[in-house]
Amino acid sequence: MVTRPRDLGLAGIILGSLVLAACSAQATLPPPTPTQIVPTSLPTAVGPETQPGSWAVSFSYEFPAGFWLEGDHRYGFYMNCPVLQQFNVPSEYRDFTVTQDTIAFESPVYLRLGGLSTGALAPINLDAIHPDQPTVAVVTVIGVTEDQARQAGELSECEMVIGWDAINAQTLVAAEPFRP
């Protein structure tokens, strides 16, 4: 049985008219105009007086290929650094699996605050790695002043630690501060 708009009464006729109007109406849009791309300076070219606190410092540790045994693992980060007090909170623990059932990438997999990724700034996209996979633990603190970033890398009392599997820990090494 086919139901026609007029069989539904006044509401059906109005609805049928709206459908016809929506299907037959064509908006006339002006032709698109090409947009000119204006080159912008890189963030590293912005002077400190323009964006104070726009510095960053990364901490990392490279695990060798073959480090992780097959099975389930858990890791988290802890920072203790007087000049970066606002970041001195332990991270959530992240879980991942090491299995022969996945491929080993040529480049390292990064253990980050949010999980595993195939790039230091790539989206979090893995939950398992191959036992032969080289990995890098990395945390980048962004939005600090140049002085804070330099002191975090130079002061012996500033430390970033990765802990894994509830019994192991390793201090990460600070890189040179940079402008993100």
Residues forming a β-bridge with 109: 135
Least confident of 1-10, 59-68, 81-90, 130-139: 1-10
Contact 74, 168 (CB under 8 A): no
pLDDT band at 86 (very low <50, low <70, confident <90, very high): confident
Please check the confidence at residue 42 and state whether its pLDDT lies above 70.
no
State the chain's mean pLDDT as an integer: 77
What residue spans define the domains of the chain?
51-174
SS3 category, 171: strand
Contact 168, 179 (CB under 8 A): no
- Looking at residue 84, its pLDDT comes to 86
The 10s digit of each residue's pLDDT in 135-171 is: 999 999 888 999 999 999 888 888 899 999 999 999 9
DSSP H or E stretch at residue 163: strand 159-164
Please check the confidence at residue 106 and state whether its pLDDT lies above 80.
yes
pLDDT band at 52 (very low <50, low <70, confident <90, very high): low
Report DSSP letters for 101-141, one per residue.
Answer: TSPPPSSPEEEETTEEESSTTSPP-BSEE-TT--EEEEEEE
| pTM, rounded to two decimals | 0.68
Please check the confidence at residue 114 and state whether its pLDDT lies above 80.
yes
Please check the confidence at residue 173 and state whether its pLDDT lies above 90.
yes
Distance CA(172)–CA(81), nearest Å, equals: 13
| Structure-block tokens of residue 80 | 């203790």
Which has the closest alpha carbon to 163: 107, 88, 92? Answer: 92
